[in-house]
């Protein structure tokens, strides 16, 4: 998606430890007009699929998923990262190791919001080591629902996540795949 | 907002400890069509105001804020609840005591995304004791920005937050104000 790649080139900041900061438009401040274009692109790429629900994970996936869901005309469910007293006991759970935060956390979705008849599209902002996406895919599987695929805004192609998830049989559509990046030469995208 | 009140009556669940569960349409599973109507209503109520940025707080405010922002044509910034290594040191911070979780946490916004010239509309899903809203208002004040007001989806009118925040001079527009609720008689809205 050229608009997105141009924006990453223009406003993305490369930091030590393979961190790409896109917090001026994607995951702290959010450019809603760009989110609309991202939503349309996901709809175009999954136009051949029936989708009944979009699944994402808090926090930075939520905005993208909600704007994209308008084009699919389906509800969004977001997996929560910590059990709260507002979630009753009947939940699907998984464990995810966060690349950004360097710790393991639980993800939780209430059983009533993922049903066997659901056809689920996962949407998230980043795909790096693949742990979040594999964790979400496990929740879909636990529910007996169908996983249509995953729509990812930015995939770090130099990390193993994309290969791992595709090898597990999940269709992944990433709008920008980063082949390499460093502070001198900037970001290089995969064709 | 009648559509919202009807939905709360239909799908809201009252639980012990003044908890109103609306997680089937507002803050776990999210009804995006309803969010669109909520966004239009916020735009109508703040039609007389110039808004340059919408501020919300993770996680459940993000979806509503992003859909609403399409009607204001402005970016959204969400306050993060814990410092992550992706946020640089230059941040505005505050402390918020959570009603739902029964603990105190830090909220953080990068200084580069709240400027003195910004006219900020805060959007959040709930107003109960007012701590989250007062914490967000403090971030706006620390930035030297103007606070246009706060758009709240559900206000618990029987808790002190709404009165506290309005007494501090902030314009609050709540789409549904709950006067009282209990498991026998259900939800009663303020006129």
Contact with chain A for residue B100, Cβ under 8 A: yes
In a domain, A104, yes or no: no
CA dist A188 to A18, A180, A181, B71, B105, Å? 13, 5, 6, 35, 38
Query: Which pLDDT value is given to residue A4?
Result: 98
Displacement of CA A105 from its chain's centroid (Å) = 17
Question: In this complex, is the C-beta atom of B90 within 8 Å of any C-beta atom belonging to chain A?
Answer: no
Please indicate, yes or no, if residue A85 is contained in any of the structural domains: no
The pTM of this model reads 0.95
CB-based contact (8 Å) between A179 and chain B? no
From CA A113, how far away is CA A96, in angstroms rounded?
20
pLDDT along chain B (191 residues), means of 10: 98 92 97 98 98 97 98 98 64 84 86 98 97 97 98 97 97 98 92 84
Contact (CB, 8 A) for A68 and B67: no
Q: What is the pLDDT of residues B63-99, one digit of tens each?
A: 999 999 999 999 999 999 975 555 557 999 998 987 6
**How far is CA B123 from each of CA A48, B77, B117, rounded to the nearest angstrom?**
35, 10, 19
A32 falls within a domain: yes
Give dist(CA B64, CA B185) in Å, integer.
Answer: 29
CA dist A82 to A40, A54, A58, A86, A107, Å? 31, 20, 10, 11, 7
Domain count, chain A: 1
> Å from B187 to nearest chain A CA?
18
Partners of B25 on chain A (C-beta within 8 Å) are 75
Q: Considering only the C-alpha atoms of chain B, give the largest distance between any 2 of them, rounded to a whole number of Å.
A: 50
Q: How far is A85 from chain B (nearest CA, A)?
A: 7
B30/A contact by beta carbon, under 8 A: yes
- Please indicate, yes or no, if residue A170 is contained in any of the structural domains: yes
Interface contact B16, partner A, CB < 8 A:
no
CB < 8 Å to B78, chain A: 28, 30, 59, 63
Q: Is residue A89 part of a domain?
A: no
Model confidence pLDDT, tens digit, residues A73-119: 999 999 999 755 555 579 999 989 876 667 888 999 999 999 999 99
Q: What is the mean pLDDT of residues A164-173?
A: 97
Q: What is the CATH number of the domain that holds B81?
A: 3.40.50.2020
Which residue bears the tokens 């609050």? B172
Q: How many CB pairs under 8 A join A and B?
A: 122
Tokens at B42, concatenated: 């916020």
The answer, for A35 touching chain B at a CB cutoff of 8 Å, is: yes
Question: Which of A14, A31, A62, A65 is best to mutate for the B interface (most B CBs within 10 A)?
Answer: A62
**Rounded-to-integer distance, Cα B8 and Cα A188, Å:** 49
User: pLDDT tens-digit profile of A40-58?
Assistant: 999 999 999 999 999 999 9
Q: Are B43 and B51 in contact (CB under 8 A)?
A: no
Q: Let me know if residue A96 belongs to a domain.
A: no
Interval A116-155: pLDDT, tens:
999 999 999 999 999 999 999 999 999 999 999 999 999 9
ipTM summary value: 0.95
Q: Which domain holds residue A183?
A: 2-79+112-189
Mutate to test the interface with B, among A11, A18, A20, A28 (most CBs of B within 10 A): A28
Query: Nearest Cβ partner of A110 from B23, B73, B78?
Result: B23
User: Between the CA of residue A142 and those of A82, A125, B8, what are the distances in Å?
Assistant: 19, 23, 30
By C-alpha distance, which of A113, A134, A112, A110 is closest to A124? A134
Burial A64-96 (b: 16+ CB within 10 A, else e): bbbbbbbbbebbbbbbbbeeeebbeeebbebeb
Is A93 within the bounds of a domain?
no
8 Å CB contact of A101 and B85: yes
SS3 B97: strand
3 state SS of B122: strand
């Amino acid at each position: 998606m050229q608009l997105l790649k141009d924006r990453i080139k223009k406003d993305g900041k490369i930091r030590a430890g393979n961190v790409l900061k896109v917090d001026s438009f994607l995951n702290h401040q959010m450019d809603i007009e760009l989110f609309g274009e991202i939503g349309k692109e996901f709809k175009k790429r999954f136009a051949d699929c029936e989708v009944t629900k979009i699944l994402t994970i808090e926090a930075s996936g939520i905005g993208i998923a909600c704007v994209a869901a308008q084009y699919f005309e389906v509800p969004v469910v977001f997996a929560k990262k910590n059990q709260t007293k507002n979630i009753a006991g009947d939940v699907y759970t998984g464990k995810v190791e966060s690349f950004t935060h360097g710790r393991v956390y639980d993800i939780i979705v209430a059983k009533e919001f993922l049903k066997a008849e659901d056809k689920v599209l996962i949407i998230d902002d980043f795909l790096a080591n693949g742990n979040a996406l594999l964790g979400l895919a496990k929740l879909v599987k636990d529910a007996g629902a169908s996983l249509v695929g995953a729509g990812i805004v930015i995939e770090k192609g130099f990390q193993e996540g994309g290969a791992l998830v595709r090898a597990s049989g999940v269709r992944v559509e990433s709008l920008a795949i980063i082949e390499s990046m460093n502070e001198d030469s900037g970001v290089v995208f995969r064709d």
